[in-house]
Amino acid sequence: MERTREPGQAALAGSRAAQTGSREARRGQHESVGSRRRRRAARQARGGVAGNSILLVLGAFAIAASFNLFLLPAGIASGGVAGISILVERLTGLAPAYTQWGVNLPLFIAGWLLLGRRFALRTLLGSAVLPLFVLLTQGWSDWSPTADPLLAALYGGIGVGLGLGLVFRGRGSTGGLDLAAQMLNRYTGLRLGLAVACFDGLVIAAAGVVISPENALYALIGLFVTSKTIDIMQTGLAVSKVAFIISQHTTMLSGAILHELDRGLTRLDAHGGYTDTAKEVLMVVVGQSEVPKLKALVKSVDPQAFVIISNTAEVVGEGFARGE
Q: With pLDDT > 70 as the criterion, what percentage of the chain qualifies? A: 81
Please state which of the ranges 32-41, 173-182, 192-201, 216-225 shows the lowest mean pLDDT: 32-41
User: What are the CB-based long-range contacts (under 8 Å, 24+) for 43-51?
Assistant: 51/170
The residue type found at 178 is: D
Residues 158, 232: Cα–Cα separation, whole Å: 11
- The answer to whether the beta carbons of residues 244 and 179 sit under 8 Å apart is no
Residue 220 has a pLDDT of: 93
Q: Tell me the per-residue pLDDT of 105-131, one tens digit each, with 9 for 90 and over.
A: 988 888 888 878 777 777 888 888 999
Instruction: Please tell me the distance from the alpha carbon of residue 62 to that of residue 95, in angstroms, as a whole number.
Output: 19
**Residue among 57, 195, 186 at smallest CA distance from 110:** 186
Candidates 305, 315, 313, 256; CA nearest to 281 is 305
CA distance linking residue 290 with residue 271, whole number of Å: 28
Mean pLDDT across the chain, nearest whole number?
82
With contact defined as beta carbons under 8 Å apart, do 149 and 157 qualify?
A: no
Q: What are the tens digits of pLDDT across the range 81-90?
A: 999 999 999 9
- Residues 21 and 212: their CA atoms lie apart, in Å, by 83
Beginning with the edge strand found earlier in the chain, give each strand of the sheet holding 240-246 in spatial order. Answer: 266-271, 278-287, 240-246, 306-311
Mean pLDDT calculated for residue range 297-314 = 89
Tell me what pLDDT residue 303 has: 92
Instruction: Answer whether 63's CB lies under 8 Å from 199's CB.
Output: no
List Cβ neighbours of 230 (8 Å cut-off, separation of 6 or more).
161, 164, 165, 168
* Spatial CB neighbours of 140, under 8 Å, sequence gap ≥ 6: 65, 68, 69
Average pLDDT, integer, range 22-41: 56
How do residues 131-169 score in pLDDT, each as one tens digit? 999 999 999 988 989 889 999 999 999 999 999 888 888
Rounded Cα gap, residues 233 and 161, in angstroms: 8
Does the structure show a pLDDT above 50 at 235? yes
- 191 against 268, higher pLDDT: 268
Architecture of domain 240-311: 2-Layer Sandwich (3.30)
- Rounded CA-CA distance 80/106 in Å is 15
- Cα of first residue to Cα of last residue in the chain, in angstroms, is 74
Tell me the CB-side half-sphere exposure of residue 240, using CA atoms within 13 A.
Answer: 16
Note the pTM of the prediction, 2 decimals.
0.68
Dihedral, CA of residue 153, residue 158, residue 160 and residue 163, to nearest 10: -170
> Taking 90 as the threshold, does the pLDDT of residue 283 lie above it?
yes
Domain residues of the chain, as ranges? 47-235, 240-311
